[in-house]
Amino acid sequence: MAAMVQEYDAKLDSRRRITIRNTPYEYYHVEEFEDGIIKLEPRELTVPFQISKNTLQMMDSAMENYDKGIVSEAVDLSEF
């Protein structure tokens, strides 16, 4: 279990929000349980997966070769 870094009491504001103090994260995943426990897990949002220009050029080249009939032998997948 991780060591406790900080402990404090918090109060809901007029809009029913709680402020988390001195946190290194901007986003959290929240789970609320029936017994009143609220679990916060930090989340770091990342840029969606993007295909590089080089990969796109290779894919275009492969499709041009396919259209021209420049292809390899068929792969036998019968054992799978």
How high is the pLDDT of residue 24?
87
* pLDDT, tens digit, 9 for 90 and up, residues 49-69: 788 899 999 999 999 999 999
How high is the pLDDT of residue 56?
93
How high is the pLDDT of residue 52?
87
Q: Is the pLDDT of residue 47 over 80?
A: no
Q: Which bin fits 22, alpha (ψ -120 to 50), beta or left (φ > 0)?
A: left
Q: Is the pLDDT of residue 1 over 80?
A: no
Cα-based distances in Å from 47 to 1, 9, 27, 44, 51: 31, 35, 14, 10, 12
For residues 33 and 50, the answer to whether their CB atoms sit within 8 Å is no
